[in-house]
């Protein structure tokens, strides 16, 4: 976590959490979800309108990724200064990139060390590493297939619906948010 974020947390420890305003898609892209996007439905619904606006500003994306963590309940968030912004997940909390040498790197830039691999009923490939669980990026399936064909990765079958509980993450923290709303544009009070 950035030092400036830690300082803001110390200075303003009771800022309400924010739900529904930030999403991570199955390719590691970040989306800002305004009121209209949230009203259009859940982030993971697959509709373009409900996703919101694709973030393209590299420094903002880097800041989000450096301050991207999870709480004890498995809800992933971006610590934006003193405010915790919970992230809606299209698939998993991490999106793994697979390099030609079969090393893996999360969408956040963090290198990983593979522990196990899994496939779901749709043929998607997931990796569990010491740093977390995630879906393999679709552009890297050729490298991943090489690892499977060589017997280096032996994916275990698992149903998609079982993944969040098994690996301890929440796809939609907004669906679990507290009921009291503050008047600050969707920010929720704890």
Instruction: Quote the CA–CA distance of 41 and 27 in Å, as a whole number.
Output: 20
Q: How do the domains of the chain map onto residue ranges? A: 3-91+169-188, 94-167
> Which phi and psi angles does 56 have, rounded to 5°?
-125, -10
| This model's pTM is above 0.75 | yes
Cα–Cα distances in angstroms (integers) from residue 23 to residues 8, 30, 31, 137, 185, in the given order: 23, 6, 5, 16, 16
Please report the pLDDT score of residue 2 as a whole number.
73
Q: Round to whole Å and give the CA distance between 52 and 139.
A: 23
3-91+169-188 homologous superfamily: duf1285 like domain (3.10.540.10)
According to DSSP H, which parts of the chain are helical? Answer: 3-11, 35-39, 48-51, 58-66, 141-149, 163-167
State yes or no: pLDDT of 29 exceeds 90.
yes
Q: What is the mean predicted confidence (pLDDT) over 57-73?
A: 96
Q: Which of 4-13, 50-59, 79-88, 89-98 has the lowest mean pLDDT?
A: 4-13
- Least confident range from 94-98, 161-165, 179-183: namely 179-183
pLDDT in tens, 171-185: 999 998 876 443 344
Nearest to 186 by CA among 73, 32, 70: 32
Rounded Cα distance between 95 and 79, Å, is 19
Total number of residues shown for the chain: 190
Burial 24-35 (b: 16+ CB within 10 A, else e): bbbebbbbebee
């Amino acid at each position: 976590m950035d030092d400036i974020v830690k300082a803001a947390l110390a200075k303003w420890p009771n800022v309400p959490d924010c739900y529904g305003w930030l999403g991570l898609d199955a390719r590691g892209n970040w989306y800002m979800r305004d009121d209209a996007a949230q009203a259009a439905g859940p982030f993971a619904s697959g509709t373009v309108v409900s996703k919101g606006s694709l973030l393209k500003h590299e420094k903002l994306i880097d800041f989000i990724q450096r301050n991207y963590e999870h709480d004890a309940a498995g809800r992933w968030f971006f610590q934006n200064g003193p405010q915790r912004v919970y992230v809606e997940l299209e698939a998993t909390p991490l999106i793994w990139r697979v390099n030609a040498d079969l090393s893996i790197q999360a969408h956040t830039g963090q290198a990983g060390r593979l522990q196990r691999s899994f496939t779901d009923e749709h043929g998607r490939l997931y990796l569990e590493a010491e740093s977390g669980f995630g879906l393999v990026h679709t552009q890297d399936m050729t490298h991943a297939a090489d690892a499977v064909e060589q017997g280096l990765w032996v994916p275990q079958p698992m149903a998609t619906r079982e993944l969040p509980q098994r690996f301890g993450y929440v796809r939609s923290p907004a669906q679990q948010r507290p009921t009291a709303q503050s008047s600050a544009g969707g920010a929720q009070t704890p």
